[in-house]
Structure 1
Amino acid sequence: MRYRPAVLLLVLAGLAVPSPARAAGNTLTVNVGTVVRPVTHVASGGLYAVDTGSKPPLEQMYPLRLNHLTQPPPGVQQLGNGATTPCCDGALVAGKVTSAGAQQFWRLPDIYKDFPYRWVSWTDWEAKVRTMVQTRLNATTTTNVDGYELWNEPDWTWNTSAAGTFNAGWTRTHRLIRTLDTVTPIVGPSHSVYNHDWMVGFLTNARDTGTLPDVIVWHELENDKYLEVQAHVADYRAIEASLGISPRPISINEYASPSQVDIPSVAVHYMAVFERHGIRSAERAYWYEAGTLNGLLHNNAPTSSYWTYKWYGDMAGNIVQTVPGSWLEGVAAYDSTRKVVNVVLGGDSGDNTVRVNGLGALGSQVRVTLSRSGTTGRFTNQSAPIAVSSATYTVSNGSISVPVNGMHAWDSYQLLITPSSGASTWQQRYEAENATVVNANRFSSGSASNGGYVGQIDGSANPRNQSFVDFLVNVPTARSYTMTIGYANATGATATHGLAYNGGGWQTISYPPTAAWGVFGSTVSTTVTLKAGWNMIRLAKGAPNLTAGTGYAELDHIHLA
């Protein structure tokens, strides 16, 4: 998305100013015992967020636990938002994106220089598509491209008079790609707004021509669109069902308006509704400078909005239920292995309350630390969040109520709840379902650590369908660690995975047989030598430069000690 005249007029007229409520006395309720889904940092991503080199630095990317990006294709010519040279080529940034734990779509029409795109001819477009797809096929060590986005905002950028209808163009392009690459997912339709009639027409044509997308994409860009996400998701699912289409993952790969994208409390609202309503991945819009994590960094250092996403990135375990009070909204996670409740909230001003239920496992007293983001905007750095308070609370019937006084409606806040004594100083256990899962799937099990695991880690043929799980871990010192892996293997014979970390060589992990699939308790251990700070650990059935693993195994967690 780039500026359109209609959007510019709204901004210049002052009509795009956010409208958070000004009333105090509201309560955000957090129900720790009600699990929504595993933590995957759904809203942590961006469009044109990452460039090559140190823009942005990996050290600033790691804490955000980036989920997903949309990057321009190889050979990008797009000059967005006043840029003088193209940037952010998806093929060139692939290694960096993988190191940060993310995956990416390639936005194919950004091969064009201009936006809105200037259509040349079908001969020209199809030649471009062949070149971009062939570049993907030739990139045999690249593993994180999980979709070709065939067009961007066709509701206003597709040249119907020159190219025919978009639906016919979608079918033609989809079929061309599938003659070249039968593996990489295809995503769309990527409308600039959600529209029922457009979606019905698109899906009907795609169903009837055998060209359904693997991931459904649309954008939520106008002011306060987070209020409509629930309705849009429900409408889309109803259309799928009415047309007999199996459910597709949903990606909102552009969100937030120009005036709201740098307001921390607005980010919280999007995080909350995306997690609550089953979005697979979502990405901050590219309104301004590329390669800045969409304004979370200025001169490669954090702005106030960065800390909102860093708190969100700190979440582990499961997303748990939050019930907003008026405009007071929040997203929360509970890591049962460390007994940490992490709540990120915002949206109202004045004196408000967070009520947290289901804290019995944390003991009779808990430590509660409250911080706020500040609102510096895009061009002012902020080296750390702002400490507000720290206090010990007595848990009564599993609950506490925490006053959050003097709130600013544009700030975000973090409420971190830990046991009053014996809290872990660093994360040692990493759940597989929280990790980067590539060509495999997440499942639930009562015997699994924190209730979830990863299975169907089966692919080994080529870099587009090889299966692995990437754990981004943060350790306090450089040394050797014992890494214990929780797993299941019901093949009746020993199975193996490849293990590599920080780009090093492969070693083999062997998993003796266990009683049943999805039943956990068995572990194996090995030694890994890690650097202080962030490290990437991969367990793979298939990956570049790996002789494929044998048999099959499911992953519950890794534990570093």
Structure 2
Amino acid sequence: MAATLPATQSAAAAVDPQRLTVDLAASEGPVMLGANGALYGLSDDGVPSDAALEPLKITSISQKPEGGAQHPNGDALTVSRSFFRNGGGEINVMMQDIYAKWPYEDLGIDDYLPKVDKITKEVSADPNSDRFVYIPFNEPDQIWYKLDVSDQAQYEKNRDRFFKDWKTVYQRIRAIDPDARIAGPNEAAYHNRLLKDFLAFAKRENVLPQVMTWHELGSGSLRDFQAHYDDYRALERAAGIAPLKINIDEYANRRDLSVPGQLVQWVSMFERNKVYANQAYWDAAGNMDGNVVRSNIPNGGWWFFRWYAGLTGNTVKVTPPQANTIDTLQGLASLDTARRQAQVLLGGSAGDSDVVVRNVSRSVFGRTVTATVAEAAWSGYEGQHATPRVLARTKVKVAADGTVTVPLRGLHKMSAYRIVLTPGGTGTPTAPSVPWSASYEAEAAAITGGQVYTQGTVSNANGYAASGTKDVGSLNQASSKVDFTVTVPENGTYDLAILYGNQSGAPATQKLSLDGGTPVTVTYPSTENWTYRAKKDVTVELSAGTHVLSLAKGAAEVTLDRVDLTRNTGAPTARYEATLADISGRPSYDYTSSAGLGTGALVLRRGDKAVFDVYAPRDGYYTVVPRASAAVTLALHGEKVAAAPERPLRLYLVAGNNRVAVTGGHAAVRSLDVSGDGSTAGTLSYEAASATLAGGAKLVESAHASGGSYIGSLGNSPDSTAEFTVDAPRSGRYVLVVHYAHNDRRDNGHSYNTDIMSRTADITVGASAPRTVTFKNTWSADDYWTVGVPVDLEKGANRVTFGNPGAWAPDIDRIELGRVLGRS
């Protein structure tokens, strides 16, 4: 009989659980991480932030050529600096995005060739030119060449035109850059007819691409991709062509992006076949296609890709309940014998599942394993997601046949789950404390003056995702409200998370009331549109029993998708296990004991480093405790902090992800424990009105600004500046947090891309050189976001100056500064 874990959520249903089987003895080859790419995933240097980008270990992205008119940002050479700085692999240059419109203006090959020359010269002159791939044509089946016509004679005519142009452009690129890697044909979908002809032509004319590309965009690809891949490899063999690298350089649709349970289905099939793949660009550039909130904040999709990036060793065979079937339970898994870890990522289906792990080697794991289960939930495209909650951590015996079965109960369809198996060692792991939680769909509530809409289904895959595929909109009447009937188990404080949309162009409000009592105002920041879901967190006091929570129209309109109630158990806490951290050097893994909370220890020696991704719900101070056997050094925001074993430190974290590096001479590190809610005690704060303005910068009154005004008309001239005088209590490294807003965008007439633009500001501290910082669009001029910038201050008065000599800087509401190492 296989060893089992207790159910991790609700009691098992009457129907038999689905079974997903992992065979640790059936290796598929090294983990490639090919499916973590994105089209226009980066928009500017700093959008997304380094801390959001580096942990994902991106292998490829697709961007436009420098100065391309298709979009206002996302230029390949510009974003390459941050991409390569953060360990990125290669950049696909979408050469036809030099044009302004979609479909591209068909001005003829003679118009295109000078543009090809310019792009190739610029890319080939870059110091990292070997890390770029040229994509000369994008979706030729739909643009100039119309290759998807059913009439064979017309197809052959169009095909021959394309082949002629392909050869011309290919040779033009190679004439300028002899070592160029070229990708194509890059159709909008898989077409056997064209690929068969293309391979024969390209081989005969010696213009074969180095990378084979096509797109998989519809829900049907979850069913059909395996057949497409197998057919393509058969075409190669028949043509006598050695296997080419494949990049599915656009995949998935709106309903998939940001949704962990959807993404795992796509990623598992691409990783299994060892192909590269980039998520499609349906909305705004710079958020890794829906997985980064603002510039630095993780959502559920980000955490799924962070898990994916954490797979090491070899992937192994996974057998799902239904292979190649749309919207079903799928997964991928890895085995790293050196680290003595197996990981399984799964999702895509609701209900119950048994994950059966076979061939669990006793020589690697011993007679027992610790199985740790965590969940990355859907939090919306713009909804923050805290560190994934551990649902279960249990030590079990490996059965005589080498099998371990992990039962998962009450899975959520939109969530992804991670199972980590490590050697059990001695002792008993402490079961995690999982607070009570329940979800309530808006469409199932009592609705007054609103309408239920269906979103993001298989038949409408380009619709935005919605919990349960429905939401409630048109809440635009004075009487509009949604009444949720909720039942809670005990008296206390509850966290209420509201999944919403706000396209009003400014902060919107609703009136929240409990059982008809006095309402309080809930304010919702702007979102891209009514269905581009974000998450608003508030707290409510509830007594045990049933209540009616009402959300009624306030200022402007808000759409509602779902609300989640979770028992508040105090200040947020998270434990980051050292055995799952990113490492450099050659640390060893010690699983001697699994007692307490954790999966073992990472033994750091001189030259070794472990990097933890630490989430903060807001900018401020948190308590950080390294659980280690000896003193270690923490590095954060460019500051190094000595830490004694188990000694609490008060460290300043920025909202979203923070990369904390740990080094030690010889220390066994079990975890990095972080608690708190972002205290601002001890920080320095300066409102816009305290700045000295020059050169046309002015103070503008605003009800939405924290001090009643913001600094506007800043920049666009060397003389236009705002100078704050900051009084530092002591010298050292601080984090300067800028509260800002702007809503620059350019309308290119795209039906599915929102061409938002970033602004920059040069920040000068004292006599130091200016530093250019990028500020992403905030969706409205009245919504203030934050960007944290490490700076060095001297004790006493310091001048902090903002400007931009060549363009407008963002509007500035206020600034805050916190020393990285705060006083306890």
Same fold (TM over 0.5): yes
Specify whether residues 213 and 291 from structure 1 end up closer, same or farther in structure 2 by C-alpha distance, changes over 3 A only: same
Specify whether residues 304 and 243 from structure 1 end up closer, same or farther in structure 2 by C-alpha distance, changes over 3 A only: same
Q: Which residue does the alignment assign to 1:156?
A: 142
Distance of 1:196 and 1:382 partners within structure 2: 41
Give 3-state SS (helix, strand or coil) of 2:216's partner: coil
Give structure 2 stretches of 5+ with no counterpart: 1-13, 147-156, 323-327, 427-576, 587-600, 610-658, 664-824
Larger fraction in strand? 2
Match of 2:182 among 179, 182, 186: 186
The Cα of 1:387 is off from its aligned counterpart by: 2.6
Give 3-state SS (helix, strand or coil) of 1:154's partner: coil
Distance of 2:203 and 2:23 partners within structure 1: 40
Residues 1:201 and 2:197 aligned together: yes
Q: Which residue does the alignment assign to 2:22?
A: 30
Preserved contact between residue 45 and residue 81 of structure 2 (Cα < 8 Å): no
Q: Which residue does the alignment assign to 2:246?
A: 250
Preserved contact between residue 123 and residue 129 of structure 2 (Cα < 8 Å): no
Q: Cα deviation per residue 1:167-215 (whole Å; 9 max; x = unaligned)?
A: 2211111111111111020000111100110111222221222111111
Distance of 1:428 and 1:50 partners within structure 2: 23
Distance of 2:232 and 2:158 partners within structure 1: 30
Specify whether residues 336 and 353 from structure 1 end up closer, same or farther in structure 2 by C-alpha distance, changes over 3 A only: same
Q: Cα deviation per residue 1:243-299 (whole Å; 9 max; x = unaligned)?
A: 2222211111111122222321221111111122231x1111111110101110111
Specify whether residues 201 and 30 from structure 1 end up closer, same or farther in structure 2 by C-alpha distance, changes over 3 A only: same
Within-5 A mapping of 1:470-549 = 481=607, 533=661
Residues 1:274 and 2:402 aligned together: no
Residues 1:374 and 2:377 aligned together: yes
Match of 1:286 among 267, 281, 306: 281
Give 3-state SS (helix, strand or coil) of 2:118's partner: helix
Distance of 1:427 and 1:532 partners within structure 2: 10
Q: One-letter code of the match for 1:260?
A: D
Distance of 2:134 and 2:166 partners within structure 1: 12
Residues 1:101 and 2:104 aligned together: no
After TM superposition, the score normalised by the length of structure 2 is 0.48
Q: Which residue does the alignment assign to 2:779?
A: none
Q: One-letter code of the match for 1:66?
A: I
Q: Cα deviation per residue 1:24-77 (whole Å; 9 max; x = unaligned)?
A: 621111111211010121111111101223210111112211111111112221
Preserved contact between residue 374 and residue 386 of structure 1 (Cα < 8 Å): no
Larger Rg: 2
Q: Which residue does the alignment assign to 1:403?
A: 407
The Cα of 1:420 is off from its aligned counterpart by: 2.1
Q: Percent identity?
A: 28
Which gives a bigger RCO, structure 1 or 2 (Cα 8 Å, sep 6+)?
Answer: 1
Q: Which residue does the alignment assign to 1:133?
A: 120
Distance of 1:184 and 1:480 partners within structure 2: 41
Distance of 1:158 and 1:431 partners within structure 2: 51
Distance of 1:73 and 1:243 partners within structure 2: 33
Match of 1:299 among 294, 298, 323: 294
Within-5 A mapping of 1:349-428 = 349-359=350-360, 360=362, 361-397=364-400, 398-421=402-425, 425=579
Match of 2:308 among 303, 309, 312: 312
Specify whether residues 23 and 384 from structure 1 end up closer, same or farther in structure 2 by C-alpha distance, changes over 3 A only: farther
Q: Which residue does the alignment assign to 2:338?
A: 337
The Cα of 1:393 is off from its aligned counterpart by: 1.4
Q: One-letter code of the match for 2:661?
A: G
Specify whether residues 313 and 278 from structure 1 end up closer, same or farther in structure 2 by C-alpha distance, changes over 3 A only: closer
Distance of 1:114 and 1:148 partners within structure 2: 20
Moved more, 414-423 or 40-49: 414-423
Q: Which residue does the alignment assign to 1:87?
A: 73
Distance of 1:291 and 1:251 partners within structure 2: 21
Specify whether residues 393 and 328 from structure 1 end up closer, same or farther in structure 2 by C-alpha distance, changes over 3 A only: same
Give structure 1 stretches of 5+ with no counterpart: 1-21, 80-85, 433-474, 484-530, 536-561
After TM superposition, the score normalised by the length of structure 1 is 0.70
Larger fraction in helix? 1
| Root-mean-square deviation (Å) | 2.8
Q: Which residue does the alignment assign to 1:13?
A: none
Specify whether residues 533 and 408 from structure 1 end up closer, same or farther in structure 2 by C-alpha distance, changes over 3 A only: same
Specify whether residues 205 and 346 from structure 1 end up closer, same or farther in structure 2 by C-alpha distance, changes over 3 A only: same
Distance of 1:383 and 1:31 partners within structure 2: 31
The Cα of 1:421 is off from its aligned counterpart by: 3.4
Distance of 1:181 and 1:207 partners within structure 2: 20
Q: Cα deviation per residue 1:98-130 (whole Å; 9 max; x = unaligned)?
A: 122221111100111111111223232111000
Q: One-letter code of the match for 2:192?
A: H
